[in-house]
């Protein structure tokens, strides 16, 4: 079963962080904000290379977007994934959430 919460924008507006979970892994991951979207360019460069380089770049991208405290759990989650296409869906979700938000006051 696939699950996606659509209240992330409301939570962010109230100061709550963007989070996601992966089915079958009981842990909620928190995205470090503001999101360094420039990392997408580095990922795109790696996408022109081998599948192994693409996988490394995707891992680096997602790990870089998580709060540091969640990175070890992320590694555990990756080790249990049976379908890696979920990673693309996670990236899309995070980017949608990051780019759909109003600029935060500095």
Does a structural domain hold residue 2? no
**Domain span at 19:** 8-99
Does a structural domain hold residue 68? yes
pLDDT in tens, 67-80: 999 999 999 998 88
Does a structural domain hold residue 13? yes
pLDDT in tens, 29-67: 998 877 777 777 877 887 777 777 777 888 888 998 899
Does a structural domain hold residue 105? no
Mean pLDDT score of the chain:
78
pLDDT, position 54: 79
Query: How many structural domains compose the chain?
Result: 1
H or E segment to which residue 57 belongs: helix 51-65
Is the pLDDT reported for residue 2 higher than 60?
A: yes
Does a structural domain hold residue 3? no
**18-32 mean pLDDT:** 85
C-alpha pair distances (Å), 34 with each of 1, 2, 91: 30, 27, 15
């Amino acid at each position: 079963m696939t699950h996606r919460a659509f209240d992330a924008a409301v939570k962010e507006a109230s100061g709550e962080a963007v989070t996601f979970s992966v089915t079958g892994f009981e842990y909620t991951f928190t995205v470090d904000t503001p999101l360094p979207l420039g990392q997408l360019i580095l990922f795109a460069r790696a996408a022109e290379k081998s599948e192994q380089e693409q996988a490394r770049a995707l891992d680096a991208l997602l790990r870089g977007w998580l709060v540091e405290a969640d990175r070890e759990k992320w590694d555990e989650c990756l080790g249990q994934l049976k379908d890696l296409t979920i990673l693309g869906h996670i990236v899309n979700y995070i980017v949608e959430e990051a780019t759909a938000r109003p600029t935060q006051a500095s």
